[in-house]
Amino acid sequence: MAIVGGGPAGISAGLELSKRAGLNIALFERDVELGGIPRSCHFFFGMRDQKRIYTGPAYAKKLSSLIRSTSVKLHLGTMVLSVVPGISGEAHRIDVLSPEGLKSYSSRFVILATGCFESSRHARQIPGTRPSGIYTTGTLQQLVNLGRFEFRGRRAVIIGSELVALSSVLTLKKAGASVIAMVEEDPELHSYAYPAEAMARLYHFPIFKDTAVHEVFGDERVEGVGLLTGQRTFQMDCDMVIITGRFRPESTLIDNTPIQRDPASSGPSVNLDLMTSAPNILAAGNILRGADMHDLCALEGKLAAQSILRTLESDRIPAGPCFTIRAEPPIRYVVPQRINPRKIGKGRFCKLYPCPAFQLKHTRGNTIMEAVSGAERIWEGAFHKLIANSRYPLPVEKFRWNRADPYKEVTLKIAPC
């Protein structure tokens, strides 16, 4: 067994697999420490998987302690360069670069749990000069909370309004810096309005909605940003720009492989067992969708491991058609993307872990969604409000699967008004 990634999903998968005696399990992590992103975050971790609330560092330490007490072989400081799926049931090959040099391993099962990353300034196409002082939230948190580099900024403009933007506010205050403004391109925030507005009042900064950053000023260091709202432009002086959110799966390992990629999420396409299109290669956590709560990723890693254990007990595949679900914009994704109706409600999921699930790109109120197969509408649901980039359960058990065409995709979309 091979697990790629030492964050909550990968560690939880290893913990579950280690419960079965006789398995040879290896976990590969490119960092020299386990725990993933929570190591540099604030609080509210572990509620659903560990049944209590930790700070980010304490949660990472807890997971690291648990996995180190098992038989799982840990390969830290090891970069997985490629995963080569085996042919016709053969073992998969994993090529890695470790402190000992280049090595290759073979494994019957592989779990991909490589996480996600924030969209950069380049990906957002923000013009202007290229001074120092432009950070993603992840970089900011490592600067402040892990103390890996010198932190110099004192006045920051935050781009984005997802929950991670609120985390950036707390990180900046911890570093003794001020937030000058939070800027959101959409007319509605990408998080719940009350906590964002309460934080803005507490720390005395404005939130600009329906506003874009059209330029960054500065030579050696950021000196300000130009903002555009409607037809009006104005400038704000600052020495930092914090780019937050718009997370993307870290899924480069499936490049140039037969593993099918979901064009909506950019992560691997999986079924209800979290199996990719390559037999015995599974995926769990934020590689599937971009950022989600870390305890949910941990539960997902556990589910992937349970899928492997079920396969070891029986190689039988339940009969019946498997339907592919495609998300249509402004829906960001639906995961899993392949649904076998006979596997729905078989004890794989619980109320603490909403799956299958979807996200929207933009916050919307009073929305009706529908699932369509050919000319048939097989489900329709009404939602009072959907917050952008937040996970919502998709009630596939209510779909009229008997009216769906197994040879056509099921399209999940916003119904016309």
pLDDT bucket at 290, cuts 50 / 70 / 90: confident
The average pLDDT across 198-207 equals 96
Contacts of residue 24, Cβ cutoff 8 Å, sequence gap at least 6? 1, 73
What value does the CA radius of gyration of the chain take, rounded to a whole number of Å?
A: 22
Strand partners, 43: 55
pLDDT value at residue 321: 78
Name the phi and psi angles at 295, rounded to 5. Answer: -70, -30
Q: How do residues 167-192 score in pLDDT, each as one tens digit? A: 999 999 989 999 999 999 999 999 98
Contacts of residue 199, Cβ cutoff 8 Å, sequence gap at least 6? 166, 169
pLDDT value at residue 43: 79
pLDDT value at residue 88: 79
Strand partners, 110: 2, 281
Contacts of residue 414, Cβ cutoff 8 Å, sequence gap at least 6? 328, 330, 331, 364, 367, 368, 369, 370
Do residues 370 and 391 make contact, with C-beta atoms less than 8 angstroms apart?
A: no
Strand partners, 372: 377, 411
Q: Residue 318: is its pLDDT beyond 60? A: no
User: Residue 120 in 3-state DSSP?
Assistant: coil
Structure tokens at 34: 């386990």
Q: How do residues 236-262 score in pLDDT, each as one tens digit? A: 999 999 999 999 999 999 999 999 999
